[in-house]
Structure 1
Amino acid sequence: MNDLRSRLVAGFTWRSDPPVWPATRIYYADYSSWWRDPAVLAEIGPALAGLFRDAEPTVVLGTESHGFLLGPLVALHLGIGSAAVRKKPERASHDEVWLVRRTPPDYRDRHLDLAVRRSVLRTGDRVLFVDEWASTGGQALACRQLVEDAGARWAGAAVVVDAMESSADRRALDLRGVLHIRELNRR
């Protein structure tokens, strides 16, 4: 795990664009090189699953877009399936049943509609949520509501970077990270 953590920190960069945001000095997280590193890809699924060793999930839930990558990696390690949560879902037919929830404001002060097909989130499932980053926890909170709407149980939230602003939301989500934002030094 220490080798993975070192690779994640080394492959991370804070970026800013002063001509666009000179007064606010907004920094953006660039972790795109993580997905290029085969060692990170091999180790990230087991690392996220390991944060919840005793939870015994029956499905992994991941949001568009990085949750679509991480969900199957974690699910494969656990020997279970993965369910995809879409942003702005569109029905392909009238007989599709979707569970839909709106997020609280995210880091850009947006509200997103998140949805999962009812057929992939089943009553009685124990659901492990995964994502690459959590700061406001808005998507995880909305996903927890989707889980409850399905009659399933929330096992917890495993993220690569825990940047949660609210410790109360961290506890409510049982959110655990491979890294904490403090480990990603700002320039």
Structure 2
Amino acid sequence: MQDVRAGLISAFHWRSDPPVWPEHRIYYADDSAWWREPTILGELGSSLAALFSDEPPTVVMSPESRGSLLGPLVATHLGIGFAEVRKGAERASDDEVWLRRRTPPDYRDRHLEMAVRRSVLRTGDRVLFVDDWAATGAQAMACQQLAGDAGASWVGAAVIVDGLENSADRRLLMLRSLLHLRDLRRR
């Protein structure tokens, strides 16, 4: 796991636009190299799965968009299914049943509607949430509620970067990560 951690840190960059005022520089996380580097990409599924080797899930649940990349990597490694959570999903037919939850404010102060098809999240499932980054935990919290709505149990949340400031949220979500935000110092 140390190799994947080192690769993630090495490939990560902070970007910024030229500031109007020097003290108002805004930095943006650029993790795009993670998806381009085959060594990192090849190890992410097993590394995220290893965070919960003590709690075997029956399904991986992940939100659009980065979760739709990472979730199947973890599910394939574990030999289990994948339940994609959509943001603002619309039904394609009247016979589709969707579970829906609204998030608390996210890192952009938005409230998103998260939805999962009932057919892919089953009563009795043991759900492992997977995503790239936990900034506020808002999406994971909504997914935890969706799992409960389906009669499934929550194993925990596996993310690449833990950026949560609130340790109570970390405990509530049973969040484990490969990196903490402090590991990604601005260079």
TM norm structure 1: 0.97
Of 172-181 and 18-27, the range deviating more from structure 2? 18-27
Query: Does the CA contact (< 8 Å) of 2:19 and 2:26 recur in 1?
Result: no
SS in 1 for 2:52: coil
Q: Structure 1 pair 17/59, CA: closer, same or farther in 2 (3 Å)?
A: same
CA distance in 2, matches of 1:136, 1:19: 25
Are 1:74 and 2:84 matched, yes or no? no
After superposition, give the CA deviation of every residue in 1:136-166 in whole Å (9 maximum; x if it has no partner).
Answer: 0000000000000000000000000011111
Are 1:102 and 2:109 matched, yes or no? no
TM norm structure 2: 0.97
CA distance in 2, matches of 1:118, 1:107: 27
Match of 1:135 in 2: 135
After superposition, give the CA deviation of every residue in 1:44-87 in whole Å (9 maximum; x if it has no partner).
Answer: 00000000001110000010000000000000110101110000
Q: CA deviation at 1:24?
A: 3.6
Q: CA deviation at 1:186?
A: 1.5
Structure 2 residue runs of 5 or longer lacking an equivalent are none
SS in 2 for 1:85: strand
CA distance in 2, matches of 1:20, 1:90: 40
Match of 2:2 in 1: 2
SS in 2 for 1:170: helix
Superposed, 1:54-73 pairs within 5 Å as: 54-73=54-73
Are 1:144 and 2:144 matched, yes or no? yes
May I ask how many residue pairs the two structures share in their alignment? Answer: 187
Identity over the aligned pairs, expressed in percent? Answer: 70
CA distance in 2, matches of 1:122, 1:131: 20
Structure 1 residue runs of 5 or longer lacking an equivalent are none
Q: CA deviation at 1:22?
A: 5.8
Q: Which runs of 4+ in 1 moved over 2 A?
A: 18-26
